[in-house]
Amino acid sequence: MASTAASIFNLKDTSLLHTQGFIDGQWVDAKEGAKISVTNPATTEEIGQVPEMGIAETKEAIEAASKAFKTWSKTTAKHRHDILMKFFALMKEHEDDLARIITLENGKPLADAKGENTYSASYLEWFAEEAVRTYGEVIPSAMSNLRNIVVKQPIGVVSILTPWNFPSAMITRKLGAALAAGCTAVIKPPAETPFSCLALVELANRAGIPPGVINVVTTNANIQEVGKELCVNPLVKKVSFTGSTGVAKLLYGYASSTLKKVSIEAGGNAPFIVFDDADIDAAVEGAIACKFRGSGQTCVCANRIYVQSSVYAEFASRLAERVAAFKVGDGLDSETTHGPLIHERAIAKVEHHVEDAISRGAQIIHGGKRLSRTGSFFAPTILSDVPADAVINFEETFGPVAALTKFETEEEVLKLANDTPFGLAGYFFSRDVGRVWRVAEALEVGMVGTNTGLLSQAVIPFGGIKESGLGREGSKYGVEDYMNIKFIAFGGL
Ligand code: SIN
């Protein structure tokens, strides 16, 4: 562990900070010794380095996972339950340190980082409980001398590729399901936030996960070839990815070479609709939670906010009052309510969306520009009268910009809301029970929030339709994505 990194992280349990990859139960450097510099987005300062690994290390990690699968897949579900519950308990025990790591590498405020740790740990608890319920079936036979049995078996080695916006929860959402099912894993954490992943592996080891069951390959410059290897290697049987739709399409193409099972949670462009019969206070609170969670950097954040004309002015002014009270700053500062964006590329995209909307006639109600301080900070922004042809209506912003558009009728807003290739989440506020059913059914998304701006929990089937993804994570469906269904005909009775 580099001593500078140790002093920056200042953890109670210093052994949670690892600066090496993890293959076959060993902490390892890159064969060629290259390093990735990891920075704090709130200060732009380097907080540590991890190895720049490549194809050779990736192949070793896959081989280790394949070897470990032979024994891990044969353990009892109760054994895997017990280990996952220990892992869960360790995450709770070390929540202060784990939250600090998240804040330092991702930028989100400490309170949000603690919230992420709770959310992240809940996937381990949930999948521990699911491990012992991966039931098979007996199907009534069409032949008198035959009995039909269905069993579920772990799929094999899983490649897990995760984003930086939830450095911990996006790993446990996949890893918890994989381990519960009896699969082994190679994780490629994001180059921006590798330390949360490495700390989780430390805790997994303490919980009793055997060598080779979890492996971690850190990479940045070599991401193209490492990503490809994780998808084409014949020893890998499933790929689970959360990230942009562009990268998802590339990985899906690679994985098709060996017809691997694929789970994808990709970009969203969530509509958030406020009808004139809504509780406006609740709608404003919902919009704050939904739009500005993680400073707008979640796949389920509202991207397009449609407000019915008779309540538009009231909603806009109340939203502006709430946003004006935000304290934007370093996540380690206890006053901070909203942290930085992850890097300069994120700022550039947000700037482009705001400038484009303004050039087409939108007005700024609040914010509108980057903050003149060190770090990648953009002012929480509200845009009014955003026209239908603005780029922000077609692309995910992944930043703190609330783009408001007025509408007149339910029919009109449903057309606008569904006019996108994406279909992850959608939200609306209404107190008319008939409308609640109609709109919930009509929105072309995988997840709907009615009268709420937050829906994420381990117990729900998280995922999208259209170009937002394949498969579901969390819930009783999540573990099934890591299992094969096998039919066994019992003859000769
Ligand atoms: C994501 O942004 O991909 C996940 C968000 C969540 O789990 O709530």
Pocket test for ligand 1, best of 244, 265, 300 (most atoms within 8 A of CB): 300
**pLDDT for the residue numbered 153:** 98
Under DSSP, the state recorded for 32 is T
Report whether 433 contacts 450 (CB < 8 A). Answer: no
Q: Pull the structure tokens for residue 377.
A: 């900070």
Beta bridge partners, 86, equal none
**Residues in contact with 198: Cβ distance below 8 Å, sequence separation at least 6, in sequence order:** 17, 18, 19, 20, 22, 50, 189, 216
Q: Distance (Å, rounded) from C-alpha 105 to C-alpha 40? A: 5
Q: Cβ(58) to ligand 1 under 6 A?
A: no
163 Cα nearest atom in ligand 1: 3
Q: Cβ(265) to ligand 1 under 6 A?
A: yes
Q: What is the DSSP annotation of 233-294?
A: -TTEEEEEEES-HHHHHHHHHHHGGGT-EEEEE----EEEEE-TTS-HHHHHHHHHHHHHGG
- pTM to 2 decimal places: 0.97
- 454 CA to middle of ligand 1, Å? 10
Q: Pull the structure tokens for residue 324.
A: 């004006």
**Residues in contact with 71: Cβ distance below 8 Å, sequence separation at least 6, in sequence order:** 210
**Residues in contact with 472: Cβ distance below 8 Å, sequence separation at least 6, in sequence order:** 263, 446, 461, 462, 463, 478, 481
Under DSSP, the state recorded for 209 is P
Q: Cβ(165) to ligand 1 under 6 A?
A: yes
- 176 CA to middle of ligand 1, Å? 16
Beta bridge partners, 212, equal none
Q: Distance (Å, rounded) from C-alpha 91 to C-alpha 367? A: 37
Q: Cβ(396) to ligand 1 under 6 A?
A: no
- 493 CA to middle of ligand 1, Å? 51
Residue nearest to atom 5 of ligand 1 (CA): 298
Instruction: State the catalytic residue, choosing from 192, 265, 467, 473.
Output: 265
46 part of the active site: no
- 293 CA to middle of ligand 1, Å? 10
- 163 CA to middle of ligand 1, Å? 10
Q: Distance (Å, rounded) from C-alpha 22 to C-alpha 7? A: 22
Q: Pull the structure tokens for residue 228.
A: 């490809």
Q: Distance (Å, rounded) from C-alpha 270 to C-alpha 393? A: 10
Q: Cβ(298) to ligand 1 under 6 A?
A: yes
Q: What is the DSSP annotation of 439-478?
A: HHHHS-SSEEEES-S----TTS-B--EETTEES-BSHHHH
Residue nearest to atom 3 of ligand 1 (CA): 299
Q: Cβ(300) to ligand 1 under 6 A?
A: yes
214: helix, strand or coil: strand
Chain position carrying tokens 């006019």: 419
Three-state secondary structure readout of 139-200: ECCCCCCCEEEEEEEECCEEEEECCCCCCCHHHHHHHHHHHHHCCEEEEECCCCCHHHHHHH
Q: Cβ(299) to ligand 1 under 6 A?
A: yes
299 Cα nearest atom in ligand 1: 2
Question: Which ranges of 256-390 would DSSP assign to H, the alpha helix?
Answer: 280-292, 309-324, 344-359
Q: Distance (Å, rounded) from C-alpha 374 to C-alpha 45? A: 10
Q: How do the pLDDT tens digits run along the chain, 493 residues long?
A: 445 788 999 999 999 999 999 999 999 999 999 999 999 999 999 999 999 999 999 999 999 999 999 999 999 999 999 999 999 999 999 999 999 999 999 999 999 999 999 999 999 999 999 999 999 999 999 999 999 999 999 999 999 999 999 999 999 999 999 999 999 999 999 999 999 999 999 999 999 999 999 999 999 999 999 999 999 999 999 999 999 999 999 999 999 999 999 999 999 999 999 999 999 999 999 999 999 999 999 999 999 999 999 999 999 999 999 999 999 999 999 999 999 999 999 999 999 999 999 999 999 999 999 999 999 999 999 999 999 999 999 999 999 999 999 999 999 999 999 999 999 999 999 999 999 999 999 999 999 999 999 999 999 999 999 999 999 999 999 999 999 999 999 999 9
**pLDDT for the residue numbered 341:** 98
Pocket test for ligand 1, best of 462, 468, 472, 475 (most atoms within 8 A of CB): 462
The number of beta carbons lying within 10 Å of the beta carbon of residue 74 is 10
**pLDDT for the residue numbered 5:** 84
Pocket test for ligand 1, best of 116, 298, 342 (most atoms within 8 A of CB): 298
Q: Cβ(66) to ligand 1 under 6 A?
A: no
List the one residue out of 353, 319, 54, 71 whose CA is nearest residue 213: 71
298 Cα nearest atom in ligand 1: 2
Q: Pull the structure tokens for residue 163.
A: 């984003």
Q: Pull the structure tokens for residue 373.
A: 């301080």
